[in-house]
Amino acid sequence: AKTHQQHCGLFSCSCHVLQESLLSSASGYSNYRGILNWCVVMLVLSNARLFLENIIKYGILVDPIQVVSLFLKDPYSWPAACLIIVSNVFILAALYIERRLSVGTISEWTGWILHIFNLTSMLIFPSATVLAVTSMTPVGGVVSLGVYTVLFLKLYSYQDTNRWCREIRQAKAKTLTRSYSCKCSNGSAVHTNVSYPGNLTHRDMYYFVFAPTLCYQLNFPRSPRIRKRFLMRRLFEMVRGNTPWMVPTIQNSMKPFQVPESLFPPLLSFPLPSQVPNHLIWLIFFYWFFHSTMNFVAELLQFGDREFYKDWWNSESVTYFWANWNIPVHKWCLRHFYKPMMKKGINKFMAQMAVFLVSAFFHEYLVSVPLKMFRLWAFMGMMAQVPLAWFVGRFLNGNYGNAAVWISLIIGQPVAVLMYVHDYYVIHYGTTK
């Protein structure tokens, strides 16, 4: 005869247990990897459709000439490329100043002055060039100014770190104990670690210049080998027709200007129809730059630290978003700006505001100079984050806070972008119609 236990098992007379649904916040469940895949599939499918429709309606819209014309006005003068090549002068200047400092030929003070001069020129020289050279296109201007800004941050970090190394060397020399063996490296066993003056080589400098980070460090952690499949996949993602459908989408996003404005108040009608393409472009740009490109470069250079972004998509407050979507810049700000300020006794709130101010300055710098329009929209957009952060932090949390961050991204960015586009059209074509 069967026992009751067996009966219960065979007949499963009790098949329900007390539990919550996964989508209820009470369940604490958060694995939505599939939703990310869904977004990618939807994006690819709708682009495929757009692409097909466009080809049928207009034929192949984007000719290579059109793409090239974004960067060049006159095929015989390449101002942006020349500007980028010239940047080597500043890189080498920084290296030679450091070499002098390491052997003590010049004093710390002279070195500091020379670095400041070098770094300031790196901001003024390219912007003056962009403003002066008439054959510079806006896209060329943004790219070359972007390169110079990145180099500026890198070289600032370079001189800061080298100075710290000298200070450590001095501290060691004073105390003369053996307990100070520097273990500041996470490099793998393959690469031999260098210590302070040994790092001032061209090879080390250019490795840092091309490495996907803004913070200098003597011995970067290195990945053990170049994974060929990983490299190929990132390369495919980088190349895979981002341009072919970028241009029609941008052209589409200009369309709201043709909507009769009398129907809506302008501020409502402007951002709404173009918010989605603008936001999608930003998301694709994020993936393209922070995941595909940076990982590709890192894999090529065997650069080990791949934390280029954290989980900003889950951010439940504005500050979390700003601290996690762009880790290289955030790390730089923390290491070379915020922490030194804190050490000098400036209070926390003032230091945070200063970081936002500098960030707002660079946002404005990268937009205004290439467009040759000084409107302060980007600056104001960046500074508007402060009250927004306060509001979201004060009144919203959990999924509501997350939704507020998303809405501010979806609505906020296009408003700033459209302000510039609108003004650019008014200046260059005299009307928005």
> Which amino acid, residue 85?
I
Q: Using CB under 8 A, which residues numbered 190 to 209 contact a copy of itself?
A: none
CA distance 367 to 377: 9
| CA distance from start to end of the chain | 88
In whole angstroms, the minimum distance from the beta carbon of 124 to a copy of itself comes to: 29
The 10 Å Cβ neighbour count of residue 279 is 17
Query: Any idea what DSSP says for residue 261?
Result: T
User: Exactly one of 129, 161, 278, 326 binds a copy of itself (CB under 8 A); which one?
Assistant: 161
Q: Using CB under 8 A, which residues numbered 57 to 86 contact a copy of itself?
A: none
Q: Using CB under 8 A, which residues numbered 136 to 155 contact a copy of itself?
A: none
Q: Is 92 in the site for a copy of itself (CB under 8 A)?
A: no
**How does DSSP assign 158-194, residue by residue?**
HHHHHHHHHHHHHHHHHH--GGG--------TTSPPP
Q: Using CB under 8 A, which residues numbered 400 to 429 contact a copy of itself?
A: 402-403, 406-407, 410
Q: Is 171 in the site for a copy of itself (CB under 8 A)?
A: yes
User: Exactly one of 144, 275, 278, 326 binds a copy of itself (CB under 8 A); which one?
Assistant: 275
For residue 363, indicate whether it is catalytic.
yes
User: Exactly one of 91, 114, 145, 165 binds a copy of itself (CB under 8 A); which one?
Assistant: 165
Both tokens assigned to 80: 């942006």
Q: Using CB under 8 A, which residues numbered 364 to 403 contact a copy of itself?
A: 399, 402-403
Q: Is 176 left (phi over 0), alpha (psi -120 to 50) or beta?
A: left
Our CB check for a copy of itself shows the closer of 78 and 207 to be 207
CA distance 22 to 26: 8
CA distance 397 to 215: 33
From the list 66-74, 86-94, 123-131, 303-311, the region that binds a copy of itself by CB under 8 A is: 303-311
Catalytic residue (one of 4, 202, 363, 428): 363
Q: Using CB under 8 A, which residues numbered 309 to 368 contact a copy of itself?
A: 309-315, 331, 335, 339, 343
Both tokens assigned to 49: 């459709």
Q: Using CB under 8 A, which residues numbered 41 to 60 contact a copy of itself?
A: 41-42, 45-46, 49, 52, 56
Tokens 């979201």 belong to residue: 392
Q: Is 247 in the site for a copy of itself (CB under 8 A)?
A: no
Catalytic residues: 363
